[in-house]
């Protein structure tokens, strides 16, 4: 937009050694501008203050839009870029006599991951605890930019665009398509009624330019616009899962339909996040299923643009419907009919053993999967979340099982035409032969343990001593990794 206005020479600074354009970009406005010199690319690391100063030299306006991938929950990385990097940008603006700084912030700076936001405005404070390290550090960076307003002749403001989408997106649509190909797009996290505000990418660019023009105005207009944060949306709230469905449906994939309560997914997400922390050094990819992501997918987040409309004169220039159409058209190469047909069982099905475990985890046997989920929920709430002792938890679990069996037993064979499958008494019968084998196994294990203890008492079997200590040490590490997050 800046290039097309023909009012600016544009310098693009980013982390890569060179700028990489798609074929359509090479032939478009940006490619032509780079060839003609009305735009130039500079390789720069925000964490290197000298590089930032060099990139800002001669600039009248700086649009600070850089940030790490929000899905990587790495506090050190986010702090070094979102806080220290932003401070470097501010200092470079002071040193290079930059007149205006427009910072791209995020609506997540006011989101705590617990409470939904309905038509939130800029009077909302930062929460005591953010949803993740990305949101927390974005809030710190935003505060630095707003505090710098009016110093050394610099005017600043912050833009908070909500859930950006559009052509060229490398996160939202590609991840949805990847999930659809893996058969994961059928699930809805939560009740599916959470409302969201999405923002088409051209509207985000337009909002930045509106902010720059307002700051460039003289007198009261610039004074009202400066030192403020602004929520930016398409002003068309929509159910989050309906938006996802429209994209998947437009590309020929299955719409989400199976609802899974967020509390059911949270223990699984915590386990996935823990696994990533342990295996990340060995090359494990960043997981999509994390606690912060579950909270984002199941909460409502809508925002008011009244302040942006009033102070920087922002209104969307592309409707949500038109934005969706353009986005879907730009990803025609990812359409379902263009993907190679898979013959035979999937790779994940084979890796999981092609049996009951695979059927359960991949939702091929819905009855079995739902039963397993219910068991996991009961286990989580009775053994982990409750804080009960083992004996108390087991007794409560047995009480629930007894109640279930009693009610199930008195139910009629049919209810409203549905057959109630009765549990035959033989299901509870334990064959004598099996009892005998289990007793022998338990006795054998006990005798083996006693033999080991007797050897240790003699103080001569060093190999056995080290073997047992290695096992205990390993268990201790395992227990440490399974501590609750706050305790860790």
State yes or no: is 138 an active-site residue.
Answer: yes
> In whole angstroms, what is the distance from residue 112 CA to residue 243 CA?
23
On whether the CB atoms of residues 328 and 247 are closer than 8 A, the answer is yes
Phi/psi at 3 (nearest 5 deg)? Answer: -65, -45
Q: Among 97, 138, 213, 471, which one carries the catalytic annotation?
A: 138
CA distance 167 to 385: 43
Tokens of 370: 């739902």
Find out whether 163 and 244 touch, Cβ atoms under 8 Å: no
> b vs e for 235-255, b when ≥16 Cβ sit within 10 Å of the residue's Cβ?
bebbebbebbbbbbebbebeb
In sequence order, what are the beta bridge partners of 102? 63, 157
Q: Which ranges constitute the DSSP H helices of 318-429?
A: 320-330, 347-351, 356-361, 366-379, 390-410
Listed residue (36, 33, 39, 38) closest to 14, CA to CA: 39
**Contact call for residues 94 and 154 (beta carbons, < 8 A):** yes
Sequence-distant (≥ 6) Cβ neighbours of residue 97 within 8 angstroms: 152, 153
Q: What is d(CA 112, CA 135) in angstroms, rounded to the nearest whole number? A: 9
d(CA 327, CA 251) in angstroms, rounded, equals: 10
CA-nearest of 393, 189, 222 to 298 is 189
Report how far residue 223's alpha carbon sits from residue 219's, in angstroms, rounded to the nearest whole number. Answer: 6
- Distance between CA 391 and CA 382 in Å, rounded? 11
- Which residue bears the tokens 């996040």? 273
Q: Hey, which residues are catalytic here?
A: 138
């Amino acid at each position: 937009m800046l290039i097309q206005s023909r009012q600016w020479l544009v310098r693009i600074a980013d982390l890569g050694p060179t700028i990489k354009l798609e074929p359509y970009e090479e032939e478009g406005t940006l490619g032509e501008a780079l060839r003609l010199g009305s735009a130039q690319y500079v390789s720069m690391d925000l964490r290197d203050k000298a590089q930032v100063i060099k990139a800002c030299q001669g600039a009248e306006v700086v649009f600070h839009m850089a940030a790490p991938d929000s899905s990587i929950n790495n506090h050190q990385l986010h702090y070094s870029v979102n806080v220290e990097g932003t401070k470097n940008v501010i200092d470079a603006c002071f040193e290079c006599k930059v007149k205006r700084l427009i910072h791209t912030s995020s609506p997540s700076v006011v989101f705590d991951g617990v409470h939904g936001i309905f038509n939130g405005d800029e009077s909302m404070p930062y929460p005591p605890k953010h949803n993740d390290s990305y949101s927390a550090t974005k809030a710190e960076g935003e505060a630095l930019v707003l505090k710098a307003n009016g110093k050394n002749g610099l005017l600043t403001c912050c833009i908070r665009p909500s859930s950006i989408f559009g052509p060229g997106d490398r996160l939202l649509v590609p991840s949805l398509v990847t999930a659809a190909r893996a058969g994961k797009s059928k699930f809805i996290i939560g009740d599916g009624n959470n409302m969201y505000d999405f923002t088409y990418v051209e509207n985000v660019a337009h909002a930045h330019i509106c902010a720059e023009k307002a700051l460039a105005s003289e007198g009261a207009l610039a004074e009202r616009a400066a030192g403020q944060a602004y929520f930016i949306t398409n002003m068309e709230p929509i159910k989050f899962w309906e938006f996802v469905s429209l994209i998947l449906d437009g590309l020929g994939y299955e719409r989400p339909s199976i609802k899974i309560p967020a509390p059911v997914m949270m223990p699984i997400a915590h386990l996935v996040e823990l696994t990533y922390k342990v295996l990340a050094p060995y090359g494990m990819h960043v997981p999509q299923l994390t606690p912060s992501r579950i909270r984002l997918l199941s909460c409502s987040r809508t925002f008011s643009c009244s302040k942006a409309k009033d102070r920087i004169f922002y209104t969307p220039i592309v409707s949500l419907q038109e934005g969706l159409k353009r986005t879907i058209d730009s990803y025609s190469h990812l359409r379902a009919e263009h993907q190679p047909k898979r013959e035979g069982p999937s790779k994940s099905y084979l890796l999981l053993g092609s049996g009951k475990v695979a059927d359960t985890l991949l939702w091929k046997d819905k009855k079995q999967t739902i039963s397993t989920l219910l068991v996991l929920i009961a286990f989580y709430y009775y053994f982990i979340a409750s804080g009960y002792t083992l004996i108390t938890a087991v007794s409560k679990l047995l009480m629930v099982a007894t109640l279930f069996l009693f009610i199930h037993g008195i139910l009629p064979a049919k209810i409203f035409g549905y057959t109630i499958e009765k549990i035959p008494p033989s299901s509870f019968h334990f064959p004598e032969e099996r009892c005998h084998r289990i007793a022998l196994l338990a006795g054998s294990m006990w005798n083996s343990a006693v033999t080991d203890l007797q050897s240790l008492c003699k103080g001569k079997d060093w190999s056995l001593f080290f073997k047992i200590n290695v096992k205990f040490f390993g268990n201790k590490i395992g227990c440490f990794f399974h501590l609750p997050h706050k305790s860790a």
